[in-house]
Amino acid sequence: MAFATLIIKTNIGEVTATPLWYIARYILRLDKKTFAVFVLSQIGGYPVGVRLLSELYGNDPDNSRSYSKHLCYCYNSGPAFVTGIVGIGVYNDVTAGIIVFISCLTANFLAAVVMNVRNTAFKPYRTEIGFSSSDISASLISAARAMLNIILPILLFNCVTELAGYLLHAVFNMEIPAFLKAVTEITNIKTDGVIFSLPITSALISFGGLCVIYQIFSLADFKVNKLYFIFSRILISAVSAGVCCLLLQITGYKPAADAFAYATDTLLTDPLLLMCIAAMTFILLKCTEKMKKI
């Protein structure tokens, strides 16, 4: 994340993306900086897009509404997570992860095209790389603060989910559906021994889960239209599932039968320990919010 922020601060990303931008500006209708953010957000992971858009917002604070719109499609899981955790970890096949990643990437691309269809194509302009030592320090500090806002919600959401599951099982002898767990926190897609179909997995990865969405809202320096973002991500997730179905039809790919035999993760089941971790995580989140205001 620090590297991605530095790329935007120094205009390296903008300069590097210029050759591709000359074509993409007629399709996506984004300026060079925003196009560079779009590209980096597709390969950097969920929080990268919002952090880079926040960097742009710092230089253009009067355009908050545009950044809120850009956030809807500058949002994607990194290829390492999709191919590693989903492809190999769930389906025991990198190909499955690649299909999911391409589906999510295509859905974001189509969303960017549709949401910017009324924009006019930006004219070419010259961009120069500007670098200073303060950029490195600022990028590292920004990344460190962002990491707290990324890691702590994961702990909190997982603890609350597991605690709720424990109580449901103890009181009503019920289990939280695996789909609901994945919607709450996306890393739960690899638990409970439940394997979703590839289109459903593509939709879940594209949506990101409530935990990731909470992270995005907490990391944004600009005002985010929360309902608009969530609604747009639901639609984009549906498009991702549709693209995945199309890719499966074209390629004829089917996960192997032995892909459904994998070791599930070991989960905490002590309710007192879960409550303590959840409480401590909530306190840390409050502390980081105060630090952000300072």
pLDDT at 153: 74
Nearest CA to 69 out of 49, 86, 93, 97 is that of 49
Reduced to 3 states (helix: H, G, I; strand: E, B; else coil), residue 215 is helix
Which amino acid would we find at residue 169?
H
Q: Residues for the chain: how many in total?
A: 294
pLDDT at 265: 42
For residue 219, name the pLDDT band (cuts at 50, 70, 90). Answer: confident
φ/ψ (deg, to 5) at 119: -75, 155
Q: How much is the average pLDDT of 242-259? A: 84
Q: How much is the average pLDDT of 18-47? A: 89
Orientation angle between helical segments 64-71 and 226-251, nearest 10 degrees: 30
Domain boundaries of the chain, sorted by first residue: 2-124+133-293
pLDDT at 273: 47
Higher pLDDT, residue 269 or 81: 81
- Burial class of residue 156 in the structure, from the number of CB atoms within 10 Å of its CB (0-12 exposed, 13-18 middle, 19+ buried): buried
For residue 101, name the pLDDT band (cuts at 50, 70, 90). Answer: very high
Orientation angle between helical segments 32-44 and 64-71, nearest 10 degrees: 40
User: Is the pLDDT reported for residue 135 higher than 70?
Assistant: no
Residues in CB range of 176: below 8 A, 6 or more apart: 161, 164, 165, 168
215 vs 65, 158, 184, 218, CA distance in Å?
19, 14, 12, 5
- Which 8-state DSSP code applies to residue 17? T
Picking from 65-69, 128-132, 210-214, which range would have the lowest pLDDT averaged per residue? 128-132
Percent of the chain whose predicted confidence (pLDDT) is above 70 = 73
pLDDT at 127: 65
φ/ψ (deg, to 5) at 79: -60, -30
For residue 181, name the pLDDT band (cuts at 50, 70, 90). Answer: confident
Nearest-angstrom CA–CA distance, 229 and 280: 29
pLDDT at 169: 75
Nearest-angstrom CA–CA distance, 207 and 103: 12
| Tokens found for residue 136 | 């490195």
Please provide the average confidence, as pLDDT, over all residues in the chain: 79
Nearest-angstrom CA–CA distance, 292 and 269: 33
Spell out the long-range contacts of 63-67 with Cβ–Cβ below 8 A and sequence spacing 24 or more.
64/222, 64/223, 65/223, 65/225, 67/222
Are 96 and 248 in contact by the 8 Å Cβ rule? The answer is: no
pLDDT at 262: 44
pTM for the model: 0.80
| Tokens found for residue 49 | 């897009």
Are 211 and 153 in contact by the 8 Å Cβ rule? The answer is: yes
- Which 8-state DSSP code applies to residue 188? G
Picking from 27-36, 126-135, 143-152, 184-193, which range would have the lowest pLDDT averaged per residue? 126-135
In the block, which residue shows the tokens 């910017």?
116
pLDDT at 163: 78
